[in-house]
């Protein structure tokens, strides 16, 4: 059976290329909103943190209707892959819509997801957006997209991608630049024509794959996925299958998507992107199957956590001044709620009732949680990230990661050097149009602090992704500690901690507001001429000199604050204090 009444498509876009505006325009035209009703919330990435970091962390669904066909639009995560999320999301769809800015062209950050989509043989549609820009380079951008597809080894059918030219802002889409253009109709038409309709057995026993989880205070855990076979009804008896293990369960309510909302429904069927509630212990990757004829779908990979960090109640003298949530109860509830939906994350109790061990897929994964909690009003302390070692047959083993890096040629040397020092082993290198793809196996400990270093040393031109590779006997020594002090620097005014104790290299200034200045005492004989020009140079230099007369400071240019950057610098014993207003370093400690 072919469900001609459904299309499932994932949208891939670099931040700011207009994804939200485009979805809003499609919603508007599909009359999901009354004429006088504004799209109140722009949902596709309502999380402002996602916008700032230029990545999408949560995948969300939107549905638009056109000529009786429901088009489910699934958002894709950005370049960050938290434990296989990209593959899982792409598993729900039959095609992808690549949205590209008519001036900027395709950006490296979207390549990872696009590569996965092409590998999964999904049909691509290219939408060149912002054609109203006076500086648009539509035709060049079109060529750039073609080059990118060739480089990503798209097959012939994929290379023959349809292109739609759009000004999402003006609500216009057209099949050719020469067309006049009056509404979004041409994009709807291409979507319906080019994205294959779901195909499968609608009358067979139910098979549904849990792809993402959501949580709502009223209904609890919400499982989202695609019905691969059969039908799903509220209160249906099912079997949940997870590898070899199976258990019986009963569904609660079943939902479909309509516009930006989840709407209760009586029945969903093969091809539908569906949500249901009522099974609190459901997990990502599990198959929901017919109670009489249970058959599991192929398992989806969920990578193991490789890094842990201790989160604890803030017991500094400043605690409680800013936060809404400061007790261990608040912290505990929040963390345990997080793991309900964040599959590759784990939380464990520790000996102290005030501290919890949180494990995740890497620094970015943990940093995103910390930053989210800070914005929610939590006040806490976090320790340095530690690799999760395991004893396997009495041998100490460490996690390895498979790291893929794309960089322009000119940065190859620096990247190789940085990764060499981090014990990475190069296993593959390919020259692609103008840049290099390098693949490494690297101990997870070698990745700590690497993202920040990589972003700086490639001036933001590189992309990195890593997936779990496996455990191997631990051979190295634990990386050396950086001697130095970390100094909090609030509102560019004061330096409350530790200035007097600076003796040696390694000083970090972190301000709650961007830009952030980092400074480093570079050695005993350094002179003032070693200093880079920097807006805050004078103040820091004066302070530093007064604390230690024979040392000078080199200030690097202002950088955007990132927690990963900060973490790279801190010692084991140091804590990062996270408050709703800022993140600051505490305890200036020397070796």
* Spatial distance between the Cα atoms of 516 and 487, rounded to a whole number of angstroms: 12
**CB burial of residue 79 (10 Å; 0-12, 13-18, 19+):** buried
Smaller CB distance to ligand GDP: residue 101 or 564?
101
Write out the binding residues for ligand GDP, residues 67-126 only, by CB under 6 A.
none
Q: Which one of 133, 346, 384, 481 is in contact with ligand GDP (CB under 6 A)?
A: 133
φ, ψ (nearest 5 deg) of residue 36? -90, 5
Smaller CB distance to ligand GDP: residue 90 or 128?
128
Residues 369-383, buried b or exposed e (16+ Cβ, 10 A)?
bbbbbbeeebbbbbb
Write out the binding residues for ligand GDP, residues 467-486 only, by CB under 6 A.
none
15 part of the interface to ligand GDP, by CB under 6 A:
yes
Shortest gap between Cβ of 168 and ligand GDP (angstroms)?
4
Shortest gap between Cβ of 374 and ligand GDP (angstroms)?
22
Shortest gap between Cβ of 25 and ligand GDP (angstroms)?
8
Q: Which one of 1, 5, 16, 144 is in contact with ligand GDP (CB under 6 A)?
A: 16
Q: Other CB atoms closer than 10 Å to residue 539's CB: what's the count?
A: 16
Q: Which one of 3, 6, 12, 17 is in contact with ligand GDP (CB under 6 A)?
A: 17
Q: Which one of 88, 116, 130, 174 is in contact with ligand GDP (CB under 6 A)?
A: 130
Edge to edge, the sheet with strand 516-521 lists 485-488, 507-510, 516-521, 553-559
Shortest gap between Cβ of 102 and ligand GDP (angstroms)?
8
Shortest gap between Cβ of 314 and ligand GDP (angstroms)?
33
Smaller CB distance to ligand GDP: residue 130 or 229?
130
Smaller CB distance to ligand GDP: residue 21 or 306?
21
Smaller CB distance to ligand GDP: residue 18 or 83?
18
> What is the 8-class DSSP label of residue 529?
G
Calculate ∠ Cα 187-188-189, nearest 5°: 90
Distance from the Cα of residue 279 to its chain's centroid:
26
Q: Which one of 43, 74, 86, 168 is in contact with ligand GDP (CB under 6 A)?
A: 168
Q: Provide the token pair at 458.
A: 């490639």
Shortest gap between Cβ of 142 and ligand GDP (angstroms)?
16
Closest CA to 199 of 271, 137, 146: 271
Closest CA to 531 of 548, 511, 554, 549: 554
Shortest gap between Cβ of 442 and ligand GDP (angstroms)?
31
Closest CA to 433 of 238, 215, 143, 148: 148
Q: Which one of 59, 72, 91, 129 is in contact with ligand GDP (CB under 6 A)?
A: 129
Q: Provide the token pair at 387.
A: 């690799």
Q: Is 131 assigned a ligand-binding role in the annotation?
A: yes
* Spatial distance between the Cα atoms of 548 and 562, rounded to a whole number of angstroms: 28
Q: Which one of 5, 104, 132, 295 is in contact with ligand GDP (CB under 6 A)?
A: 132
Smaller CB distance to ligand GDP: residue 18 or 77?
18
Contact between 1 and 199 under an 8 Å Cβ cutoff? The reply is yes
Smaller CB distance to ligand GDP: residue 130 or 262?
130
Site size toward ligand GDP (CB under 6 A) is 16
Smaller CB distance to ligand GDP: residue 136 or 212?
136
Smaller CB distance to ligand GDP: residue 42 or 390?
42
151 part of the interface to ligand GDP, by CB under 6 A:
no
Q: Is 461 assigned a ligand-binding role in the annotation?
A: no
Give Cα separations from 311 to 4, 49, 328, 565 (angstroms): 50, 20, 10, 18
Q: Which residues contact 413 (CB under 8 A, 6 or more apart)?
A: none
List, as one string, the DSSP characters of 413-424. HHHHHHHHHTT-
Q: Which one of 8, 76, 167, 543 is in contact with ligand GDP (CB under 6 A)?
A: 167
Q: Which one of 137, 169, 253, 539 is in contact with ligand GDP (CB under 6 A)?
A: 169
Length of the chain: 591
Q: Which residues contact 541 (CB under 8 A, 6 or more apart)?
A: 528, 531, 552, 553, 555
* Spatial distance between the Cα atoms of 492 and 200, rounded to a whole number of angstroms: 61
- Stretch of 69-77, 167-175, 207-215, 453-461 contacting ligand GDP, by CB under 6 A: 167-175
* Spatial distance between the Cα atoms of 99 and 12, rounded to a whole number of angstroms: 6
Shortest gap between Cβ of 101 and ligand GDP (angstroms)?
8
* Spatial distance between the Cα atoms of 162 and 143, rounded to a whole number of angstroms: 13
Smaller CB distance to ligand GDP: residue 106 or 278?
106
Shortest gap between Cβ of 461 and ligand GDP (angstroms)?
20
Smaller CB distance to ligand GDP: residue 22 or 583?
22
Shortest gap between Cβ of 576 and ligand GDP (angstroms)?
29
Q: Provide the token pair at 2.
A: 């072919």
Q: Which one of 3, 8, 9, 20 is in contact with ligand GDP (CB under 6 A)?
A: 20
> What is the 8-class DSSP label of residue 82?
S
Q: Is 217 assigned a ligand-binding role in the annotation?
A: no
Smaller CB distance to ligand GDP: residue 169 or 483?
169
* Spatial distance between the Cα atoms of 560 and 516, rounded to a whole number of angstroms: 6
Q: Is 18 assigned a ligand-binding role in the annotation?
A: yes
Q: Is 17 assigned a ligand-binding role in the annotation?
A: yes
28 part of the interface to ligand GDP, by CB under 6 A:
no
Smaller CB distance to ligand GDP: residue 6 or 168?
168
Q: Is 469 assigned a ligand-binding role in the annotation?
A: no
List, as one string, the DSSP characters of 322-362. S-SB-SHHHHHHHHHHHHHH-TT-EEEE-SSTTEEEEEESS
Give Cα separations from 44 to 5, 117, 224, 465 (angstroms): 23, 19, 16, 23
Q: Which one of 3, 9, 11, 18 is in contact with ligand GDP (CB under 6 A)?
A: 18
21 part of the interface to ligand GDP, by CB under 6 A:
yes
Write out the binding residues for ligand GDP, residues 32-61 only, by CB under 6 A.
44
* HSE value, Cβ hemisphere, 13 Å, CA-based, for 443: 20
* Spatial distance between the Cα atoms of 96 and 11, rounded to a whole number of angstroms: 6
Taking only Cα atoms into account, the Rg of the chain, rounded to an integer number of angstroms, comes to: 26
Shortest gap between Cβ of 58 and ligand GDP (angstroms)?
14
128 part of the interface to ligand GDP, by CB under 6 A:
no
Binding residues for GTP: 16-21, 129-132
Chain positions contacting ligand GDP, by CB under 6 A = 13, 15-21, 44, 129-130, 132-133, 167-169
């Amino acid at each position: 059976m072919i469900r001609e009444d459904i299309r499932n498509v994932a949208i891939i876009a670099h931040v700011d290329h207009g994804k939200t505006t485009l979805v809003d325009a499609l919603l508007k035209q599909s009359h999901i909103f009354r004429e006088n009703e504004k799209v109140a919330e722009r949902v596709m990435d309502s999380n402002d943190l996602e916008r700032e970091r230029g990545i999408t962390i949560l995948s969300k669904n939107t549905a638009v209707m056109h000529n009786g066909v429901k088009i489910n639009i699934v958002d894709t995560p950005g370049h960050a892959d938290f434990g296989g999320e990209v593959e899982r999301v792409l598993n729900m769809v039959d095609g992808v819509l690549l949205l590209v800015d008519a001036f900027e062209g395709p950006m490296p950050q979207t390549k990872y997801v696009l590569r996965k989509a092409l590998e999964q043989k999904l049909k691509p549609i290219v939408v060149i957006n912002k054609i109203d820009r006076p500086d648009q380079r539509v035709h060049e951008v079109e060529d750039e997209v073609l080059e990118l597809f060739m480089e990503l080894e798209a097959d012939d059918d994929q290379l023959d991608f349809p292109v739609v030219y759009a000004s999402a802002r003006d609500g216009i889409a057209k099949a050719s630049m020469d067309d006049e253009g009056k509404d979004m109709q041409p994009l709807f038409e291409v979507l319906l024509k080019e994205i294959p309709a779901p195909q499968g057995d609608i009358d067979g026993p139910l098979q549904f794959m849990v792809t993402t989880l959501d949580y709502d205070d009223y209904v609890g855990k919400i499982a989202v996925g695609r019905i691969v076979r059969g039908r799903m009804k509220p209160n249906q008896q099912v079997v949940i299958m997870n590898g070899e293990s199976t258990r019986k369960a009963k569904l609660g309510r079943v939902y479909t998507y309509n516009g930006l909302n989840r709407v209760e429904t009586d029945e969903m069927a093969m091809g539908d992107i569906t949500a249901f509630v009522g099974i609190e212990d459901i997990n990502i990757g599990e198959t929901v199957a017919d109670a009489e004829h249970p058959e599991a779908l192929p398992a989806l990979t969920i990578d193991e956590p490789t890094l842990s960090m201790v989160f604890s109640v803030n017991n500094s003298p400043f605690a409680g001044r800013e936060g809404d949530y400061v007790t261990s109860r608040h912290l505990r509830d929040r963390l345990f709620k997080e793991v309900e939906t964040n599959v590759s994350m784990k939380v464990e109790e520790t000996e102290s009732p005030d501290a919890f061990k949180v494990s995740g897929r890497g620094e970015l994964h943990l940093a995103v949680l910390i930053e989210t909690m800070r914005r929610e009003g939590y006040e806490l302390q976090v320790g340095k990230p530690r690799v999760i070692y395991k004893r396997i047959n009495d041998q100490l083993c460490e996690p390895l990661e498979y790291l893929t890096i794309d960089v322009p040629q000119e940065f190859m040397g620096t990247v190789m050097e940085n990764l060499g020092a981090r014990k990475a082993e190069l296993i593959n290198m390919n020259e692609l149009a103008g840049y290099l793809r390098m693949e490494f196996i690297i101990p997870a400990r070698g990745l700590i602090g690497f993202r920040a270093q990589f972003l700086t040393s490639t001036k933001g031109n590189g992309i990195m992704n890593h997936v779990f590779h496996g455990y191997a006997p631990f051979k190295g020594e634990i990386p050396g500690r950086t001697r130095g002090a970390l100094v909090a620097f609030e509102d560019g005014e004061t330096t409350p901690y530790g200035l007097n104790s600076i003796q040696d290299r390694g000083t970090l200034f972190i301000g709650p507001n961007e830009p952030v200045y980092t400074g480093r005492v570079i050695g005993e004989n350094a002179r003032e001429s070693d200093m880079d020009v920097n807006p805050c140079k004078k103040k820091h230099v004066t302070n530093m000199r007064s604390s230690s007369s024979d040392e000078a400071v080199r200030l690097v240019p202002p950088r955007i604050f990132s927690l990963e950057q900060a973490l790279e610098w801190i010692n084991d014993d140091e804590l990062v204090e996270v408050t709703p207003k800022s993140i600051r370093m505490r305890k200036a400690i020397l070796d």
